[in-house]
Chain A
Amino acid sequence: MSRPALPWSRALRTLTLAGMASAVLAWSALAGAETAGDRAVEAAKKYAGKTITIVWEAGLQSLDPQKFSGPLWEKLTGVKVKVIEVPTAEMFTKIMQEYRAGTGAYDALNVIPAWMPDLVQAGALEQLDTYVDKFGFRDELQKIAPTYRDNQMKVNGKIYGFPDDGDVFVMYYRKDIFANAGLKKDFKAKFNYELAPPTTWKQFDEIGNFLTEKLKKEGVYGAAFFREAPYAMFMFEERFRNEGGRFFDANTMKATVNSPIGVKVLTEMRNENRFMPKGVEKFGFVDNLATFLKGESAMTISWPPYGRWAAGYLADEKALDWVPKSKIAGKVGYALPPGGHPELAAGFALSVASTSKQKEVAYLFIQWLNSEEISLQRTELPYSLRDPFRTSHYSAPSYLALWPDAKHYLATLKQASETGLLDLSLIQTDKYEEAIRQGIQRLWAGDDPKAILDEMASQWDAVTQKVGVDRQKAVYAGWAAKSGAYPK
């Protein structure tokens, strides 16, 4: 037999029910948002009218938030996005300067993963684990391609950035040249193996020399690379490790970059310039791209956008007016660079600035950007320079349909990501990198490779001493234990 409820208990029950109903409604609103992207949008709607500021690489890259993701986010949530364009070389400086000033001028950031230990150590990046759990992003993070997910997201086991760019070096070659019957025959006769994309640097040297000899009169060189120090630095890091080099003695933390392997790599790099276009020492990203797209080099190595542009993908896009029209569309093959372990050069991760005054909405924006659905759309933008980085991107039907050879392109990118090598990342990484860049410049200036490497090792040792041998040793041990640090 039930007793009649007392008035206060009825009120309490009503309140409890109302509370439960609100909670259910709120949860169902988020739960109704089935994807992490949707959840970010739903949660960000309460910030409508606010403006968040994001630091983005200057140039083509920033057209993504300016023309696509920024306006779309504003349409969905009412939150405006202000883009601060910063040249890559200055991004670290600007982020650190802002952090030091503590004005809260930046909310979200693009950071190169190799910088993350330094930025975290300085306190410039916000730890994201709490947000990831609060807004249910952990499952989708697991779907990022393992190389990027496992190596470019965390510092000391905590999440500080979402890997957002599948940067990796790929070899692009001219299928028509490599399939030329006359060249194949002559090459086989001279070297006793088939003319095919090189798998070792010795083969690269022989093929490059051979093709230049045969095709130079037609204005085609065997190969061309970007040789400016900031780019060649990555190539040196890649080749040195592919040849079996180790950056440091793990026990003493003494630099071992000046080993015979280092000398061999630098010597070969300089010798290769002989069969490349004159002045290749000054080639940057665009010079090398133009040379390849005009059909003036048979092989090159670069980041993934080369492959898309060489295929002529959206060549009429206004933002890509500056890219030379590809004369080699349909003739481009994709392969791993010699050695088979390409550099996962640079890359970008999305982070939240620790000095931001609106961290939650900044976080929601990067979760949405990085989500399965939106990230795929962004990697398909012809001008964004963001490359496939989620497992699903490599097999996305929409991507596969972009140009006839997209299937091979994506397969190569996937393979490259699986075997790729991480950029060196320690405390004060830039000081180590600066020594490599200076070494590369000296190489092109004609200095002795051994002397260059001895000086490089000496500079590295000095930095290590200054940071603290034991401290750096621990960081190096952590980095070297990662799957992409050295070829397995």
Chain B
Amino acid sequence: MASRGGTARFADRNFPLLLVAPAILILLLVGVFPLAYLVVASFQGITMTDNDKSFQGLVNYIQLFHDPRLWTSLLHTVLFTAIALPLELLLGLALAQLFLDKMPGRSVFVGLLVLPVVVSPIVAGATWSLLLDNRFGPVNQILGWVFGREMPLLWTINPELVYPAIILAEVWQWTPFMFILLLAALASVDRSQMEAAAIDGAGYWRTFFRIVLPAIWPVMAVAVLIRGLDLFRIFDVVWALTQGGPGMRTETISIFTYIKGFQQFEISYTAAVAFLVILLLSGLVMAALRRVELSR
């Protein structure tokens, strides 16, 4: 009897685990298996012409540290992120502040502002490629009207213009994402606290930094984290505009990985690069989550 009771208790205790087991198994298959496969491949020697699956040790990882192109592309990625992310955040916040109060046609404007987010990034890149075309693009035409002379600017060739062109396209597309999240966050800030601060004589900035910012901080942090990760993986817009050029001036880590993996079929080396990126991003995410105390 005691034994049967023990078995029943064991079954009761583990029944929920059994129920979730299939889901966990699928998650493991979908999430962990590719990662494990990637790691295994990174220790092999698979190339375009050689399907060498023997263990190669740390060859590919050593190569990582001797590949200036990889680190340059990483630097470009950090540069894009460091410039575009604050711009998107500040513009998104400013727009959210602007549309916080009721105004005529607010919903129409908000709807229009959000449109770029729903466009596929490669389409956004292609659109900007047309907008910035040196002969037929409206951007050069408008600049021509403003400056009163022909402006045949080569936005995707001139080294001084390629970064502004890419960042412009990126900020155009993703500022609305920041805007919509921050608008929701701002709308949920406790008005009574702001009114109390105003009664106590606090100015706009004091109220903003002491009351509004702490209130919207969790949402803002998540928005920054999501966009930061997106920017670190930036590919489509750059590909559509410059394909990493001129030369390798705008080559990001994603473009580098694509070229190595899918144009040059350096399969094992690409796996090592991908694993490095995963490690970097995981570290960043964990640090960021710890920072905003969302990891608990």
Please list the residues of chain A having a beta carbon within 8 angstroms of any beta carbon in chain B: 92-93, 96-97, 100, 118, 121-122, 229, 278-279, 281-282, 287, 427-428, 430-431, 434, 438-439, 441-442, 444-447
Contact = CB atoms under 8 A, between A and B. Distances in A.
B262 interface: yes
A442 B247 contact: yes
A4 B293 CA distance: 108
B245 A438 contact: yes
A441 B247 contact: yes
Nearest to A281: B157
Contacts of B154: 279, 281-282, 444
A431 B249 CA distance: 17
A92 B263 contact: yes
A121 B49 contact: yes
Contacts of A439: 247
Contact of A430 (B135, B245, B263): B263
A197 B157 CA distance: 31
A474 B157 CA distance: 38
A92 B157 CA distance: 26
B134 interface: yes
Interface residues of B, number: 22
Contacts of B156: 282
Per DSSP, are chain B's interface residues mostly helix, strand or loop, or mixed?
A: loop
Q: Which of B152, B157, B159, B263 has the most CB of A within 10 A?
A: B157
Interface in B230-289: 245-249, 259, 262-265
B48 interface: yes
B152 A278 contact: yes
A428 B247 contact: no
Contacts of A442: 246-247
Interface of B: 48-49, 133-135, 150, 152, 154, 156-159, 245-249, 259, 262-265
Q: Which of B133, B152, B156, B245 has the most CB of A within 10 A?
A: B245
Given A93-B263, A444-B157, A279 B48 contact: no
Nearest to A97: B262
Contact of B248 (A92, A428, A431, A438): A438
A118 B48 contact: yes
Given A445-B157, A445-B159, A122 B49 contact: yes
Contacts of B265: 96, 100
Nearest to A120: B49
Given A118-B48, A282-B157, A441 B246 contact: yes
Given A118-B49, A281-B157, A444-B157, A430 B264 contact: yes
A445 B48 CA distance: 32
Q: Which of B159, B246, B259 has the most CB of A within 10 A?
A: B246
Given A93-B263, A439-B247, A445-B249, 14 more contacts: A118-B48, A122-B49, A229-B245, A278-B135, A278-B152, A282-B133, A282-B135, A282-B154, A430-B264, A434-B264, A441-B247, A444-B157, A444-B246, A445-B245
